[in-house]
Amino acid sequence: MENSGGTNQAPRIRQLPNQLVNQIAAGEIVERPASILKELLENSLDAGARQIVVELEHGGLRRISVRDDGHGIRQDCLALAMGRHATSKIRNQNDLLNVMTMGFRGEALPSMGSVSRMTITSRARGSEYAWKILYESNEDLPTPEPAAHPQGTSIEICDLFYNTPARRKFLRTEKTEYKHLDRRFIEQALARPDVGFRLFHDGRAVRSMEAAEDEAGRNKRVFDVLGKDFIENCLFIDQQTGDLHVHGWFSQPTYSRSQRDQQFFYVNRRYVRDKLLMHAVTQAYRDVLHHQRQPAFVLFLDLPPNQVDVNVHPGKHEVRFREDRQIHGFISQSLKKMLTDTRPGAMPANPFSETSTENSGTFLFAQRHVEMAAAPYSVQEQMTGLGKLYFAEGNIDPTEAGGDEQGVAKDQQGNDFSLSDFPLGFALAQLQGIYILAENENGLVIVDMHAAYERIRYEKLKSQLDKEPLARQPLLVPVHLALSQEEISLAELNISYFNKIGFEVDVITETSIVIRSVPEMLARVDIPSLIRDILSDLAEHGRSSRMEDRINEILSTMACHGSVRANRLLTREEMNALLREMEQTERSNQCNHGRPTWKQLTIRELDKMFMRGQ
């Protein structure tokens, strides 16, 4: 076989020059200016910085500067830092298996220097002087020169891709590149609230985040990045099982986005875009959020470093877990448990309380402990007994009963009751046959009747189905399905799983299976496509919720058609019975599609609306 030189000789293997090696590495690490900022910020954090200042010019295309007050780089190590695979963060294989620093490969600096004009100025802790080097794609390592600089390091990247114009053509506009830079900046700022961050663009101060010394300061960091709307609609989680610990903030189903711009997941404080983790979060929301909407979250997963491999992606965006199914289940179930209890009275009305004026910007979050004492009587007993207890002729109406200073009143039988015992209060009226108006201890409650009934009926249908085995329907003509060898292997391993979820499946050849019976509720579903989707999920995640999703879609439709329709007039007893059921039904804060079922207008908000006291 002839080689590219046109001779019959085997091609010679040559050692590539360092400059070319660095540029090849830069092709993996330096995708755009934002890639450089990420690497520099991680280096500053690894150096123990408490204050980091970022300066950008022209969307990072002209200049990127990162200055920190970390431990700095020693003079005798400054030039060595520009060498490939030179690092202070790992020494042996054991260190590589237990990485806790953000960087560890020793490739970033030489890669960045090979495609830009880079200046490093640093003063090491305990050193009297600072030193700097200028690196411009040189084969030889530069010699440090004396400089003026406080303790810490400044790295300046100028004229990115000036010597590789073909790559520069792939960059976007300054506005687009700056958007990516800002995203990398806030990813690191959210991970480390104990560090102060400042960002300047073209000489203008854009972001300033003080180092957090307490919980209020750490919460303010989230507020500064994601804004008030997220804060007012978020839940707080702090769950630990064995060595696994998940904590952070995630949005209620009624607060969702059309894109993934407010999704931040960290593994041992490293920002990652991991498919397994994203799938786990999606699974937790799948029964309370419309599939076209995206949740918002800032979540942190902590686990022993030897349980996760961070050395699987050049940019370190992805990780690999030793026990991926365990991680998936832990994240999904932890979030799902809290989302299940999104019902009236199961959590504080507001996720944070303002403790100072708006100028100070300090907010304290009320951690949402999703706990509620068991009701003293069942939902059905409440429904049938409410009229006798409170609304029967001659009894005192709770909305007119008044009470003592603690808001306690008595009915005709002498039983104490209080508005605080009923989060949704008591019905006042019906509006346009669509909304229920009720009064609780905080003010006015507005309930969407149809949405509320839909969620209640949907949860009852699911509960009923959980108590009864799925009815099967034999197929008059069994369905033969051709599969790949990999899919056949998966099917053989999961025959018992298919049987459990209502399918009778047999492997008949090395490339095909036969489906003899299916769940009765899914008789009209495209069974071959569903089976392939289930096998695909099993291959990627080790589990599948496809069939449950299909069944839930059917139950949701049944619940919608069986719900109270608009313009139907309800008696006061019926309205109050609905409120009591909502208080006891899981996920009743939102309908099956993620829309809110009720809203609260506090007395303070009503006073402001009507300018009372102004």
Provide the percentage of residues in the chain whose pLDDT is more than 70: 80
Q: What is the pLDDT of residue 549?
A: 82
Residue type, 23: Q
Residue pair 93/261 in contact by the 8 Å Cβ criterion: no
d(CA 111, CA 36): 10
Q: What is the pLDDT of residue 417?
A: 62
- Per-residue pLDDT band for 362 (boundaries 50, 70, 90) equals very low
Residue 376 pLDDT greater than 80, yes or no:
no
d(CA 280, CA 285): 9
CB atoms under 10 Å from CB of 382, counted, come to: 20
Q: What is the pLDDT of residue 377?
A: 36
- Per-residue pLDDT band for 355 (boundaries 50, 70, 90) equals very low
Q: How far is CA 74 from CA 145, 151, 384, 462, 570, in A?
A: 12, 11, 79, 65, 78
Q: What is the pLDDT of residue 163?
A: 84
Residue 539's SS3 state is helix
d(CA 425, CA 433): 19
Where is average pLDDT lowest: 114-123, 192-201, 392-401? Answer: 392-401
How much is the mean pLDDT over the chain? 83
Of the candidates 516, 521, 517, which has an alpha carbon nearest to the alpha carbon of residue 468?
521
Q: What is the mean pLDDT of residues 124-147?
A: 85
Q: What is the pLDDT of residue 351?
A: 52
User: Tens of pLDDT along 214-267?
Assistant: 888 889 999 999 999 999 899 999 999 999 999 999 999 989 999 999 999 999
d(CA 253, CA 124): 49
Beta strands in 140-272 (DSSP E): 145-147, 152-158, 196-201, 204-209, 234-241, 244-251, 263-267, 270-272
Where is average pLDDT lowest: 3-17, 330-344, 452-466? Answer: 3-17
Q: What is the pLDDT of residue 378?
A: 38
Where is average pLDDT lowest: 2-6, 69-73, 137-141, 445-449? Answer: 2-6
Q: What is the pLDDT of residue 105?
A: 64
Q: What is the pLDDT of residue 556?
A: 83
Cα 37 → chain centroid:
23
d(CA 178, CA 58): 8
User: Tens of pLDDT along 96-109?
Assistant: 677 677 766 667 88
Q: What is the pLDDT of residue 357?
A: 33
- Per-residue pLDDT band for 415 (boundaries 50, 70, 90) equals low
Residue type, 577: A
Q: How far is CA 140 from CA 14, 17, 134, in A?
A: 19, 11, 12
Residue pair 50/169 in contact by the 8 Å Cβ criterion: no
Residue 514's SS3 state is strand
Residue pair 52/44 in contact by the 8 Å Cβ criterion: yes
- Domains in the chain and their CATH numbers? 18-209 (3.30.565.10), 215-365 (3.30.230.10), 422-614 (3.30.1540.20)
User: Tens of pLDDT along 275-289?
Assistant: 999 999 999 998 888
d(CA 70, CA 426): 59
d(CA 138, CA 140): 5
- Per-residue pLDDT band for 546 (boundaries 50, 70, 90) equals confident
Residue pair 56/199 in contact by the 8 Å Cβ criterion: yes
Residue 413 pLDDT greater than 60, yes or no:
no
Q: Model pTM?
A: 0.78
Spatial strand order of the sheet with 51-57 comes to 145-147, 130-135, 117-123, 152-158, 63-68, 51-57, 196-201, 204-209
Q: What is the mean pLDDT of residues 86-90?
A: 67
Q: What is the pLDDT of residue 379?
A: 38
Residue 52's SS3 state is strand
d(CA 453, CA 459): 10
Q: Name, of 77-86, 290-299, 565-574, the range with top average pLDDT.
A: 290-299
Residue 341 pLDDT greater than 90, yes or no:
no
Q: What is the pLDDT of residue 15?
A: 74
Where is average pLDDT lowest: 1-10, 34-43, 189-198? Answer: 1-10
Q: What is the mean pLDDT of residues 66-83?
A: 89
User: Tens of pLDDT along 143-176?
Assistant: 899 999 999 999 999 999 988 888 888 889 999 9
Tokens of 185: 């900046």
Residue 329 pLDDT greater than 90, yes or no:
yes
